[in-house]
């Protein structure tokens, strides 16, 4: 039994296209690019090679804890860095468990109220058409698309008063409705043009899509006035750095169909049995917060594994080729633009990660393969002969509930010698690193295993430096002045122990430059 339902990829693309009136005649007539965003940032320098910093968090949206709130504490940890931050990137899963509108107030608006216009009166704010006082730029996570399965929706509605009293059975993170297939996220963050009457659409576009970029009109992000993103995937530029925000939920169709289907069905049956055991245990331990949190995390993990297996069992699943072409063409254009000095990708599903539940999932491998194909095509178009010439400077993701810094070695593709950061430990739950260790291996063309990536930092459930507590995390990322791009990570970690919260100070991490990216690699196991 699925606790949640994940819409088919085709439906996600169709529903989101309808919401933004994708390629409407009035949009085409004005040569509007619906994937570009120009940030209005009063008081900040946007000079081509200026230094700046930005903030990152992800997998944050829970209101589950009665006596303490990890998302709120992480938000407070970010506040000293907020005033001069160029923007904040959220790597997805803004609201758990199913991205429902009813959960936005406690799970998002309340913890991040300092970023919201009128946030001091957060109780009265509607999750529709939120206004931000600084650029707050998310990507869609899988939970932002989820709906409750029909039987669960009925059960959730009947038990909602009791669950609110006892904080039991998905706690207050469920409500009794889902995300409307991403609709709640769209109304909170995106420019939902389908809500604009057709008779007023032209005036609306002329008012809000007046910014220009390379001869195209595009949406202007105006804090406190009109702080929306134009589409489910989009790009913007600050101080010569191009940021590409992806919707990875439509890129996770399995790459290979050669799986043993009987074995997959047996695995699915085993997951069902484990899920039933967790639900029974949850009903017996409803008042023990620590045990309940662990069981809830196990249930969410089982749910994601079930959906992963179900996608692999499907005969056909759409590939979002349009988004992949957009990324390829955008990266090529960025590289040939003399005013662009660097490129950052942000998406929900990590192409590389060593978290125990995500490192080998089909979703992870599909994203890795599709991103590799794009980067290979970009390098071919640019005539790059050396893979040490980075196609992108940094890839940020979430989904795995940890903070992790990785680097790829020579993978044989355009993702070689690149920097990968997973920021998905900002509030919901934390998970351990896989038992196989920090080095990821892959079969080479000769059939042997070779190490393709290594993890340099992993902060998760059993992080050694937090003395048995829970280490929730976010990031400040500093971009130095000049070119080539120099990137410094400042982990912002808060450790929750029985006696309260402790802030953990870590030394900044300087990411290696391209000419420093050929390390000695441990041999594969």
226-259 pLDDT per residue, tens: 999 999 999 999 999 999 999 999 999 888 666 6
- CA–CA distance, 450 with 46 (Å, rounded to integer): 42
**Whether pLDDT at 158 is above 60:** no
pLDDT at 415 over 90: yes
Closest CA to 226 of 85, 79, 39, 84: 39
pLDDT value of position 216: 94
Identify any residues that bridge with 346 across adjacent strands, giving them in sequence order.
245, 396
pLDDT at residue 347 tops 80: yes
Show the tokens assigned to 522. 């441990």
| Pairing between β-strand 394-397 and β-strand 419-423 as defined by DSSP bridges | parallel
The pLDDT value given to residue 54: 98
Q: By C-alpha distance, which of 104, 62, 57, 53 is closest to 239?
A: 53
Q: Which residues on adjacent β-strands are paired with residue 452?
A: none
Residue 525 pLDDT greater than 60, yes or no: no
Average pLDDT over residues 496-501: 82
- Residues making up the chain, counted from first to last: 525
Helix, strand, coil shares, percent, the chain, to 5: 35, 20, 45
Most confidently predicted of 144-148, 233-237, 273-277 = 233-237
pLDDT score for 426? 96
What is the Cα–Cα distance from 366 to 320, expressed in whole angstroms?
Answer: 12
Phi, psi of 352, deg, nearest 5: -135, 130
pLDDT confidence bin for 150, thresholds 50/70/90: low
What does the angle CA 158 – CA 161 – CA 165 come to, to the nearest 5 degrees?
140
Surface-to-core class of residue 163, CB atoms within 10 Å of its CB (0-12 exposed, 13-18 middle, 19+ buried): buried
Average pLDDT estimate for 62-78: 83
Q: Are strands 487-497 and 500-505 parallel, antiparallel or unpaired?
A: antiparallel
- Counting residues of the chain whose pLDDT is more than 90, the rounded percentage is 63
Among 28-37, 102-111, 202-211, where is mean pLDDT lowest?
A: 102-111
Report pLDDT for 523: 45
Output the average pLDDT for the chain: 87
The answer on pLDDT for 2 being more than 80 is: no
DSSP state at residue 523: P
Q: Are 97 and 174 in contact (CB under 8 A)?
A: yes
The residue that leads in pLDDT, 216 or 171, is 216
Displacement of CA 522 from its chain's centroid (Å): 30
- pLDDT band at residue 295 using 50, 70 and 90 as cut-offs: confident
| Chain Cα centroid distance, residue 259 | 28
As a whole number of angstroms, the distance between CA 30 and CA 8 comes to 32
With a cut of 80, say whether residue 386 has pLDDT above it.
no
522 secondary structure, DSSP code: P
For the chain, how big is the Rg over CA atoms in Å? Answer: 22
β-strand partners of 490: 476
Burial class (CB in 10 A: 0-12, 13-18, 19+), 312: buried
Phi and psi at 234, nearest 5°, equal: -165, 170
Q: Which of 130, 144, 128 is nearest to 182 (CA)?
A: 144
Tell me what the mean pLDDT of segment 110-117 comes to: 97
Q: CA 426, 431, 432, 434 torsion: positive or negative?
A: negative
Residue 244 confidence (pLDDT): 98
Q: Which residue did the predictor score with more confidence, 210 or 254?
A: 210
Give whichever of 174-188, 334-348, 425-439, 443-457 has the largest mean pLDDT: 334-348
* pLDDT given at position 443: 87
Over residues 12-41, mean pLDDT: 97
> Any idea which of 58-72, 283-297, 422-436 has the lowest mean pLDDT?
283-297
- Assign residue 468 a region: left if phi > 0, alpha if psi is -120 to 50, beta otherwise? left
CB atoms closer than 10 angstroms to residue 107: 28
Cα separation, 479 vs 55, in Å, equals 11
Q: Please state, in angstroms and as integers, the Cα–Cα distance from residue 197 to each residue in 14, 126, 155, 386, 447, following that order.
A: 20, 21, 37, 52, 59
Given CA atoms 353, 355, 356, 357 in this order, what sign does their dihedral have? negative
Most confident by average pLDDT, 28-37, 54-63, 262-271, 460-469: 28-37
What pTM, to 2 d.p., does this model score?
A: 0.91
Tell me the CA distances in angstroms from 513 to 2, 115, 283, 352, one per residue in order.
45, 33, 52, 19
Q: How confident is the model at residue 358 (pLDDT cuts 50, 70, 90)?
A: very high
**What's residue 163's pLDDT?**
44
Nearest Cα neighbor of 42 from 119, 134, 115, 124 is 134
**Nearest-5° Cα angle at 346, 39 to 477:** 75
**Confidence band for 284, pLDDT divided at 50, 70 and 90:** low
Residue scoring higher pLDDT (288 or 89): 89
Mean pLDDT of the region 385-394: 85
Task: Render 245-263 in DSSP notation, one character per residue.
Answer: E--GGGS-S-S---S-HHH
Which residue has better confidence, 144 or 468?
144
pLDDT of residue 467: 73
- Taking 60 as the threshold, does the pLDDT of residue 459 lie above it? yes
Q: Span 301-316, mean pLDDT?
A: 76
pLDDT bracket for residue 327 (50, 70, 90): very high
Domain boundaries 4-256+315-516, corresponding CATH code: 3.60.21.10
């Amino acid at each position: 039994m699925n606790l949640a339902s994940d819409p088919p990829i085709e439906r996600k693309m169709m529903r989101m296209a309808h919401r933004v009136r994708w390629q409407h005649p009035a949009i085409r007539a004005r040569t509007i690019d619906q994937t570009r965003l120009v940030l209005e940032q009063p008081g900040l320098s946007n000079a081509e090679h200026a230094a700046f910093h930005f903030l990152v968090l992800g997998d944050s949206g829970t209101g589950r804890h009665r006596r303490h709130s990890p998302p709120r504490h992480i938000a407070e940890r970010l506040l000293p860095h907020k005033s001069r931050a160029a923007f904040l990137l959220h790597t997805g899963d803004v609201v758990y468990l199913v991205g429902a509108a009813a959960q936005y107030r406690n799970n998002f608006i309340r913890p991040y109220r300092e970023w919201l216009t009128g946030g001091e009166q957060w109780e009265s704010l509607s999750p529709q058409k939120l206004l931000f006082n600084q650029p707050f730029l998310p990507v869609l996570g899988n939970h932002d698309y989820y709906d409750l399965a029909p039987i669960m929706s009925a059960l959730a509605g009947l038990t909602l008063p009791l669950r609110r009293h006892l904080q039991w059975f998905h706690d207050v993170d469920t409500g009794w409705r889902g995300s409307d297939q991403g609709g709640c996220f769209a109304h909170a963050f995106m420019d939902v043009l389908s809500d604009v009457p057709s008779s007023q659409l032209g005036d609306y576009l002329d008012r809000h899509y007046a910014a220009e970029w390379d001869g195209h009109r595009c949406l202007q992000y105006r804090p406190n006035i009109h702080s929306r993103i134009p589409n489910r995937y989009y790009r913007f530029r600050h101080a010569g750095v191009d940021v590409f925000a992806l919707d990875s939920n439509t890129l996770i169709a399995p790459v290979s169909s050669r799986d043993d289907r009987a074995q997959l069905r047996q695995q699915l049956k085993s997951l069902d049995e484990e899920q039933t055991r967790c639900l029974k245990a949850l009903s017996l331990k409803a008042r023990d917060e620590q045990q309940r949190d662990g069981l809830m995390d196990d249930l969410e993990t089982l749910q994601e594994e079930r959906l992963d297996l179900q996608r692999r069992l499907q005969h056909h699943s759409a590939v979002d080729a349009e988004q992949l072409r957009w990324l390829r063409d955008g990266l090529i254009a960025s590289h040939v633009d003399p005013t662009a000095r660097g490129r950052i990708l942000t998406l929900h599903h990590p192409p590389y990660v060593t978290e125990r539940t995500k490192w080998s999932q089909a979703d992870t491998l599909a994203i890795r393969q599709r991103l590799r194909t794009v980067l290979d095509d970009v390098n071919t178009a640019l005539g790059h002969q050396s893979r040490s010439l980075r196609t992108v400077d940094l890839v940020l993701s979430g989904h795995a509930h940890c903070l992790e810094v990785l680097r790829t070695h020579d993978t044989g593709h355009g993702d070689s010698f690149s920097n990968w950061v997973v920021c998905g430990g900002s509030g919901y739950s934390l998970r351990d690193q896989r038992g196989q260790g920090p080095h990821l291996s892959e079969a080479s063309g000769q059939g042997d295993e070779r190490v393709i990536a290594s993890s340099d930092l992993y902060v998760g459930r059993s992080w050694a430096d937090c003395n048995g507590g829970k280490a929730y995390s976010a990031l400040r990322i500093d971009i130095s002045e000049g070119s080539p791009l120099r990137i410094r990570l400042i982990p912002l970690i808060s450790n929750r122990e029985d006696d309260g919260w402790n802030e953990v100070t870590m030394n900044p991490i300087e990411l290696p430059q391209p000419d420093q990216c050929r390390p000695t690699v441990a041999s594969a196991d």
